[in-house]
Amino acid sequence: PTVVQRLDYTAPAFWIETVELAFDLDPAKTRVLNKMQVRRNPEVPAQPLRLDGEDLNLARVLVNGSGTSFKLDGGQLVLENLPEGPEPFALEIFTTCAPLKNTQLSGLYVSQETFFTQCEAQGFRRITYFLDRPDVMASYSVLLRADKAHYPVLLSNGNLVESGDLDDGRHFARWHDPHKKPSYLFALVAGKLVAREQKITSRTGKEHLLQVWVRPGDLEKTEHAMRSLMHAIAWDEARFGLPLDLERFMIVATSDFNMGAMENKGLNIFNTKYVLANQATATDADFANIESVVGHEYFHNWTGNRITCRDWFQLSLKEGLTVFRDQEFSMDMAGSASARAVKRIEDVRVLRTVQFAEDAGPMAHPVRPDSYVEINNFYTVTIYEKGAEVVRMQHNLVGKDGFAQGMKLYFERFDGQAVTCDDFVQAMADANPASPLAQHLDAFKRWYSQAGTPTVHASGVFDAQAQTYTLTLRQSCPATPGQSASAKQPFVIPVTLGLLDGQGKALPLQLQGLNVGTEHTLVLHQEEQAWTFTGITSQPTPSLLRSLSAPVLLDYPFTEAELLTLLAHDSDAFNRWEAAQRLSLRIATNAIAATAETATEKEQNPANLLPQSVVDALRLVLEHPQLDAAFKELVLTLPSESYIAEQLDSVDPQRIHSVREAMRRQLALALQPQWQAAYEAHAHTGAYQPEPIAAGRRALAGLALNMLCLAAQGDGVWAGKAYQRVKDAGNMTDKANALQALVQSASPLASNALDYFYRQLRHEPLVLDKWFALQAAAPDVQGSVLPAVKALLKHPDFVLKNPNRARSLVFTYCNANPGGFHRLDAAGYIFWADHVLALDAINPQMAARLARALDRWQKLAPPYREAAREAIARVAAKADLSNDVREVVARALG
Ligand code: DPP
Ligand code: ZN
């Protein structure tokens, strides 16, 4: 397989100015006529035109209306005898493709008798021969022809120019997109669909038509998506001055989709999971995800579409920035400071559990990678979530207004162009010349080029005599593939902090005689720096990296007392939560590390791993009269097994599971009266509204019910209540939480409840996904999960080809159930290998995602490590593996 290198980038030898596409849509054989105006790029030495293509049948090539000679070379169509000179020439290519056979869901495919496209990153070449790279931007006109009875709705990007009937029951629609775009933003949809419509008028008085297209019957589930879209439009205009630039903006939902959604210009295509919702089928988390994904794709219209990526190494230019924008959108929509903190905690949880693990594993890569084999493997949490953190740091270094100025300059400079990550950060610095970002720009850019999660090692010295507190920060970053630790240069790390006195009160901060308030951001840009705070009269407790001001690990020897102070008093809600996480994480890792001989009495008796002081502190949070329920739920949730695993050098997944379960049981029992009170206070939230306060109450009630079922094992009272709730709950959040409580406590009522749930909701595909996932994540009572998962593979509703369904059962088992997956008999790994191979024959992108479930095999303790290696080696040994899976397993094996 070819390795693509970032530094090999050269401008295209030809530009494609206009594209006229004519489709005769037929599931078995679709005919595509592609007429382009092409001209040589005078800045590049003359060379043949090489057009990308994949799985196409080529019928005809005409240059300026006449036949021409051509070669096919490794999928590319090579044209050598093209007109000389700078004038554009007409290139006409006629091909066919087979949408019905397209199980990869890249290019043109059929789902439930409807045509869809997915062109990012390189799907357009599966539709026609083209310069399928993001820096070639063209004007598109599209003619769609299809059978009218089967495909009454014909959609493409831009504006509908003309439509009408043809002979033989066929009809046509002609679309023109007024904006130039790269091929990855092309889209078409054809099928039996209906739309929720909304007309809006922008601030400047322009009218726009918004549409959400779904299958007939799903219309009543589109209200929330439409509302989210309207909020997103208003938000981008208010916060960044970025208006909707289209007369028509369409969202179409499909149940067969590799990703979450896709920002095609004016015609976003979405996974149904991120469009369809009503209270009977969708949870609060689903509603929140819809708002965020609808926002994300809409925000791409400016950050991604108007300004796009020069090449795919710059993917984070649009994704990191757009994730940052959707996170800010969700926070602004959430409203209160507490709800913002809850959203931040949720985002950080994903970053630290998934991205930090990626950054420490074999697939680690910089936010702007240097090479790839298969670009689809680089749609990662590093590009998205770490990329968003890198943008967030810029936001913090230049301030909210400075950031808005930077965005303005970015659009002034680059609107309509395909640019690089460097171009973005340069605009941000140029718009804020006095900021620490501009001051340390070259060093800051290392966030784009150096992989790995840095650690900030902090130490503080209080000098009672001098009344000073000196904080020393030192940074380090481990080696990552292709980058040794010693070759890494210091990062620019904003460390936002406060100091608390013994009573937990915020201390005024004085640096070099200057009063800087009670919260301040230090900029660590050297390997080690120290700051001395004056006027400090007693030993302070530092609250460091507030709101996770940088995507780093913090190494500071907190005492238990310090953490308890932070948990009880810190003004930064994020660090209050973080203190609780640190307390339980430390207890868990100590208990896991303790061998039989060195174990303390507590560790030998895992019923009481948490000391009374910690239990009491958590009780105070749970009973707290002012704290929001959503925040309580986060504080009372122990760090996940995968997060605990990341803190350890040698991972025994069963030991982690049993220690965490013991801690969970202890909390369930020790706080039983408080759980009961919390449940009773929050179980009924009135008429369903998917908003943060009510959602937080439902979340806490759900956790409480879980704990009550766990504590009351054997006595069926709470299980009985949970079962009743599965039957009666008026919304999916309460229903799913109750079902989960039964499943997670391995209640004898779980199977009845699962049956009931299935019978009631079997006609709702997105709910069935939940039903499969709940079972795949069930506790592994005597090795029961794998056989249950295997039985579910044979369930009539299970379809491996459908990505959502595959994710719900196979991916959940392999990624989200460590206790059930890491088996002593290696059967989980064998199952994994079988499914990576099975999926690879259907859909390589999906297979490669699943392949990453064993990324961290090198950290596993014996005998898991060797068994995992064998399973990976078995996959790698398969001769006709896709490039996607090949790249992942080759990197895993090193
Ligand atoms: N659909 C993906 C996203 O929006 C790729 N652009 O992030
Ligand atoms: Zn995106």
- Ligand 1 nearest-atom number relative to CA 296: 4
> Taking the domain 455-513+530-557, which CATH number applies?
2.60.40.1840
Ligand nearest to the CA of 123: 1
Q: Is the pLDDT of residue 737 over 70?
A: yes
Residue nearest to atom 2 of ligand 1 (CA): 262
Q: What angle do CA 588, 591, 596 make, to 5 degrees?
A: 165
Predicted local distance difference test score (pLDDT) of residue 1:
82
Q: In CATH terms, are 309-449 and 762-894 the same topology?
A: no
> Taking the domain 1-192, which CATH number applies?
2.60.40.1730
The rounded distance, in Å, linking the Cα atoms of 621 and 413 is 50
Q: 226 C-alpha to center of ligand 1: Å?
A: 19
The rounded distance, in Å, linking the Cα atoms of 825 and 838 is 21
Q: Is the pLDDT of residue 734 over 70?
A: yes
Q: 880 C-alpha to center of ligand 1: Å?
A: 29
Ligand nearest to the CA of 258: 1
Predicted local distance difference test score (pLDDT) of residue 861:
97
Predicted local distance difference test score (pLDDT) of residue 568:
98
> Taking the domain 309-449, which CATH number applies?
1.10.390.10
Ligand nearest to the CA of 326: 2
Predicted local distance difference test score (pLDDT) of residue 601:
67
Judge whether 94 and 60 are in contact, CB under 8 Å.
Answer: yes
Probe residue for ligand 1, chosen from 185, 186, 259 as the CB with the greatest number of ligand atoms within 8 Å: 259
Q: Is 262 in the pocket of ligand 1 (CB under 6 A)?
A: yes
The alpha carbon dihedral of 123, 124, 129, 130 has a sign of negative
* Average pLDDT of span 808-833: 98
* Average pLDDT of span 510-519: 96
Q: What are the E-state strand segments in 98-217?
A: 107-111, 114-118, 137-147, 153-156, 159-165, 170-182, 188-191, 194-201, 207-214
Q: In the structure encoding, which two tokens stand for residue 407, read together?
A: 């965005």
* 538 backbone dihedrals φ, ψ, rounded to 5°: -145, 165
- Ligand 1 nearest-atom number relative to CA 260: 1
Return residues with CB closer than 5 A to ligand 2 (ion): 319, 322
Q: In the structure encoding, which two tokens stand for residue 596, read together?
A: 């039989």
| Neighbouring C-beta atoms of residue 479, cutoff 10 Å | 14
Q: 366 C-alpha to center of ligand 1: Å?
A: 19
Stretch (H or E) spanning 705 = helix 692-711
Question: Would you say domain 762-894 falls under CATH 1.25.50.10?
Answer: yes
Residue nearest to atom 1 of ligand 1 (CA): 262
Q: Is 297 in the pocket of ligand 1 (CB under 6 A)?
A: yes
- Ligand 1 nearest-atom number relative to CA 262: 1
Tens of pLDDT, residues 261-307: 999 999 999 999 999 999 999 999 999 999 999 999 999 999 999 99
* Average pLDDT of span 684-688: 94
Q: 323 C-alpha to center of ligand 2: Å?
A: 7
What are the boundaries of each domain within the chain? Answer: 1-192, 309-449, 455-513+530-557, 762-894
The rounded distance, in Å, linking the Cα atoms of 160 and 186 is 15
Q: 267 C-alpha to center of ligand 2: Å?
A: 14
The rounded distance, in Å, linking the Cα atoms of 68 and 62 is 6
Q: Which residue has the higher pLDDT, 604 or 827?
A: 827
The rounded distance, in Å, linking the Cα atoms of 242 and 229 is 14
Predicted local distance difference test score (pLDDT) of residue 607:
77
Tens of pLDDT, residues 469-500: 999 999 999 999 999 999 999 999 999 999 99
Q: What's the complex ipTM?
A: 0.98
Predicted local distance difference test score (pLDDT) of residue 149:
98
Residue nearest to atom 5 of ligand 1 (CA): 262
Query: 555 pairs with which residues across the strands?
Result: 457
Predicted local distance difference test score (pLDDT) of residue 603:
66
Judge whether 490 and 526 are in contact, CB under 8 Å.
Answer: yes
In this prediction, what percent of the chain has a pLDDT beyond 70? Answer: 99
The rounded distance, in Å, linking the Cα atoms of 593 and 180 is 58
Residue nearest to atom 7 of ligand 1 (CA): 319
DSSP-H helix ranges across 19-65: none
Q: Is 269 in the pocket of ligand 1 (CB under 6 A)?
A: no
Q: Is 659 in the pocket of ligand 1 (CB under 6 A)?
A: no
- Ligand 1 nearest-atom number relative to CA 297: 4
Tens of pLDDT, residues 397-438: 999 999 999 999 999 999 999 999 999 999 999 999 999 999
**pTM of the complete model beyond 0.80:** yes
Long-range contacts of 609-612 (CB under 8 A, 24+ apart): 609/659, 609/662, 609/663, 609/666, 610/584, 610/663, 610/666, 610/667, 610/670, 611/560, 611/587
* Average pLDDT of span 507-518: 96
Q: Is 323 in the pocket of ligand 1 (CB under 6 A)?
A: no
Q: Give me the active site residues, please.
A: 297
Q: 79 C-alpha to center of ligand 1: Å?
A: 33
The confidence band for 597, taking pLDDT boundaries of 50, 70 and 90, is low
Tens of pLDDT, residues 625-670: 999 999 999 999 999 999 999 999 999 999 999 999 999 999 999 9
Q: Is the pLDDT of residue 598 over 90?
A: no
Q: Is 263 in the pocket of ligand 1 (CB under 6 A)?
A: yes
Ligand nearest to the CA of 324: 2
Q: Is 293 in the pocket of ligand 1 (CB under 6 A)?
A: no
